[in-house]
Every structure is written in C-alpha cells, then in structure tokens.
Amino acid sequence: MSSHPHAVFNSPHKALLPDSRLPNVLLHRERVQRILVIKLRHFGDVLLTTPLLSTLRANYPNALIDVLVYDGTEAMLAGNRDVYLAYTVDRSLKHQGLKAQYRGEYALWNSLRTGHYDLVINLSDQWRAALYCRFLKPTFSLGFTYPKRNNRLWRRCHSLLVDTEGHERQHTVLNNLSILAPLALPTQVTRVTQSWRQCDIDDVERLGRHYRLRNFVLIQPAARWAFKTWTAAGFSEVINHLTARGETVVLTGGRSAEEAAMIDAILAGCISPQRVINLAGRLDLPELALLISRARLFIGVDSVPMHMAAALQTPSVVLFGPSNLAQWAPWQASHTLLWAGDYRPLPPPEAVDTATAERYLAAIPPGDVIRAVDRRLASSDAPASVG
C-alpha cells in the first residue's frame, strides 16, 4: 500500500530529445518489458530512489521493474507497487568463507540472468554494480561518471554514462532522476513514496489499541552514525517540555545496543515517564512509517525516519550537523531545520570522519528546539482557513 496513491507529475522541457545512441526498443516505450534499478546504499538512499521508480512506471507502462539493493534495505520498498521483484546482496556472506560466498553470489547471478533486461539503471559506484551492467548483457545500461571511477573499464561496463556535475548542489532525489536524462521521458515524478503492507497496518492498529495512541509526538533521536545525533540530555529536556504541556511522546529507535543505551539515557532524564511510550527496537521500518504518518509532529535528526516523515508529509523539527543540506534536507515537506552550523563551525561534509567522537549537534540549544516544536504544534492546532 502506497502512502501517495496519486503521484504529482512534472513535465520536463518539451524540446528535450532522446540520446541518439538509444536502441530502438527504448525509443518505443510501450515495448520495454523488464528494467533493473541498482542502488547499493543505505536505507534512506533506497527510499529516495522511489521517485525514479515511479517515473519509470509512468513512462514504461508494460515494464516490470526490479531492484537490486543491499540485504535489509528492501524493507523501504515493502508494499511499493512500482516494484516487481527485489533482489538483495547479502553482505554477510563475505564473513562466511569462500564456499558460502560463491553459492550466494551464484544464486543471485542466476536469478538476475532470468530478467533479460531491456534497461539496467546503475545508481551505485561499486564495481559489483558495474559488472552486473556488463555481464547481464542488457539491451542498454545507464550509470554515472563518478570521479573515482574515471577509467576505461567503468565506461565499458555501461552503454552510456551521465555526468554528476552539480550533484553536490541539488537534492539526492533530483540527482537520482538526472540519470534518466538521456531517455528524455515526457513524465517525471518527484514525490518520494513511502509504502507499507496490510500486515503492517494490522500490527500498528494493535499497538495503537494497547497504548491508546490517538494524539502523540514521535521522537526518533538516533541516526546510523553517532556524529549525526544530538545529546540525550537535550532530548530529555524537549520531552519534559512536551509532557508538561500534556503531550504524549512516542520514542522510537533501532535494535542496536548503542541506540538502546541512548534511549535509556533519555528516559532517565524524563520527569513524567508515564507519558512516554518507548517503542524503540520494537518496530519494523514499514510499521515505523505508518506510526510516523499518524503523529502530530516528528522530531529527529538526519536519518531515514526523517526522510520517511518528509515523504509522509508529517510536520517535522529536524536537527542537522555537517551533512550536505542541499542533498539531504527533508524533501518537499513542511519542516523546521536547525543546523549546528548556525551555532559553531562545521567541517565540510566530505571531510567528516564518520567514526568521530565529536558531537557537532550538541551546539544546538534545547531552548531553540523547544521554540521550534511549540511553533510547529501551534501551527498544527490552528484551524484551517476558509476561502
């Protein structure tokens, strides 16, 4: 089930013509039967490919669209009606010995070969993805001209490469869509689609009845990398403000020991823990998406739940550190963004050590976050204008 059954479409410039190197089958879009999209990155990256998937679906009505992603990240596409098959790369195989790795790779290869793809779109910079483009022998394949892959072998693995000039200055959604430029597609979809299944609805309904969840603020405090997180004390202060004004707070998070420790530290600083519902480690990603869609407000950091909230049009207050705001800010959604760079110097995004112990977001004062939260809640409480 899609959160956006009616996508928003934009038409590119009418003078745009298909690249002259396209094979005949791609010039007659109704003839395209199978497409493979490769995105070997993290959860948020996979979610932000959904506008590209929707664009392909809109322009190739008879095609079956498959995806190749890292194991686990296919959860971001659960229930997505644009996807026919989701193939996954099991990264754990490299720790299980050569025999297990060979069996896993061979099984994946044999499955992909049955696709007989008319078009393969490679959004990744790994050699594995390029070799699939080469040896699956699709009718045509597209990739990006990554600076670190500026060599003959990378070029030979793809039918055509698309320039990445300017990608650092625009959103990841638009960067993904830019790979389709040689196809000159008449319809472009820019909206991110967050989806779920009926089983996810059933599970969230049971949770809602158990905790009597009707009116709540959802806080997801952690991110994949610790340098993107705020302080536990800051979140506790925000929660205490919310519960003092009578709000119910739902805390969510992953299943890692680090996230569990952060949640415990936040709860230890809460004055009214009875008004805080801790669901950290208990939700699959589609269930989390559904819960976010029902929240009055989402509060979090630069993470996949933040992108989910934006896709679901849930009003948000988000805290950012040394990420590229142009590429990773909430996309096409109502939000308030507090950037640590307004309070202290930050290193360039490309220079950040992801294992650093430095907590850049600690510079953001809790008082500023509380004021942003109050403004967002007041806005959601305001009656709709008539006229």
Q: What DSSP string describes 252-268?
A: ---SSHHHHHHHHHHHH
CA 218 – CA 295 distance, rounded (Å): 6
56: nearest Cα among 19, 23, 29, 27: 29
Lowest mean pLDDT among 58-67, 95-104, 225-234, 301-310: 95-104
CA 140 – CA 355 distance, rounded (Å): 39
* Residues 218 and 281 placed together within one structural domain of the fold: yes
Q: How many helices (H) and strands (E) does the chain have?
A: 14, 14
pLDDT, tens only, 348-378:
999 999 889 899 999 999 999 999 999 999 9
What phi and psi values does residue 139 have, to the nearest 5 degrees? Answer: -60, -35
Distance of alpha carbon 225 from the chain centroid: 15
pLDDT, tens only, 212-260:
998 999 999 999 888 999 999 999 999 999 999 999 999 999 999 999 9
Query: Once rounded to an integer, what is the mean pLDDT over residues 119-143?
Result: 97
Tell whether 1 is covered by a domain: no
219 residue type, one letter: I
CB 3 within 8 A of CB 34: no
* Residues 173 and 205 placed together within one structural domain of the fold: no
Tell whether 387 is covered by a domain: no
Query: Once rounded to an integer, what is the mean pLDDT over residues 75-100?
Result: 92
The per-residue pLDDT of the chain, averaged, comes to 93
At residue 18, does pLDDT exceed 90? no
pLDDT, tens only, 162-176:
999 999 999 999 999
Tell whether 263 is covered by a domain: yes
pLDDT band at 29 (very low <50, low <70, confident <90, very high): very high
What phi and psi values does residue 354 have, to the nearest 5 degrees? Answer: -65, -15
CA 226 – CA 223 distance, rounded (Å): 6
* Residues 35 and 174 placed together within one structural domain of the fold: yes
CA 313 – CA 330 distance, rounded (Å): 10
* Residues 34 and 97 placed together within one structural domain of the fold: yes
Tell whether 386 is covered by a domain: no
* Residues 182 and 234 placed together within one structural domain of the fold: no
Query: What is the number of domains present in the chain?
Result: 2
DSSP lists the bridge partners of residue 2 as 195
Give the domain-ending residue among 157, 189, 221: 189
Tell whether 4 is covered by a domain: no
pLDDT, tens only, 147-197:
999 999 999 999 999 999 999 999 999 999 999 999 999 999 999 999 999
Instruction: Look at strands 188-189 and 9-10 and give their pairing.
Output: antiparallel
CB 338 within 8 A of CB 364: yes
Q: What is the pLDDT of residue 382?
A: 57
At residue 326, does pLDDT exceed 90? yes
CB 121 within 8 A of CB 185: no
* Residues 136 and 221 placed together within one structural domain of the fold: no
CA 73 – CA 83 distance, rounded (Å): 14
Q: What is the pLDDT of residue 386?
A: 36
CA 145 – CA 1 distance, rounded (Å): 35
Q: What is the pLDDT of residue 379?
A: 87
Q: What is the pLDDT of residue 4?
A: 41
Tell whether 86 is covered by a domain: yes
Radius of gyration of the chain (CA): 22
Q: What is the pLDDT of residue 261?
A: 95
* Residues 145 and 247 placed together within one structural domain of the fold: no
Tell whether 36 is covered by a domain: yes
Tell whether 2 is covered by a domain: no
pTM of the model: 0.92
**Judging by beta carbons within 10 Å of its beta carbon (0-12, 13-18, 19+), is residue 137 exposed, middle or buried?**
exposed
Q: What is the pLDDT of residue 384?
A: 40
Give the domain-ending residue among 189, 210, 233: 189
Question: Could you tell me the residue range of the domain that residue 67 belongs to?
Answer: 9-189
Q: What CATH number is associated with residue 343? A: 3.40.50.2000
pLDDT band at 95 (very low <50, low <70, confident <90, very high): confident
Tell me the percentage of the chain whose pLDDT exceeds 70. Answer: 94
Give the domain-ending residue among 189, 208, 224: 189
What is the number of other CB atoms lying within 10 angstroms of the CB of residue 385?
Answer: 5
pLDDT band at 73 (very low <50, low <70, confident <90, very high): very high
* Residues 183 and 227 placed together within one structural domain of the fold: no
CA 377 – CA 382 distance, rounded (Å): 9
* Residues 276 and 133 placed together within one structural domain of the fold: no
* Residues 290 and 329 placed together within one structural domain of the fold: yes
* Residues 104 and 245 placed together within one structural domain of the fold: no
Residue listed under structure tokens 């003092």: 244
35: nearest Cα among 133, 152, 177: 133
* Residues 30 and 122 placed together within one structural domain of the fold: yes
Q: What is the pLDDT of residue 1?
A: 52
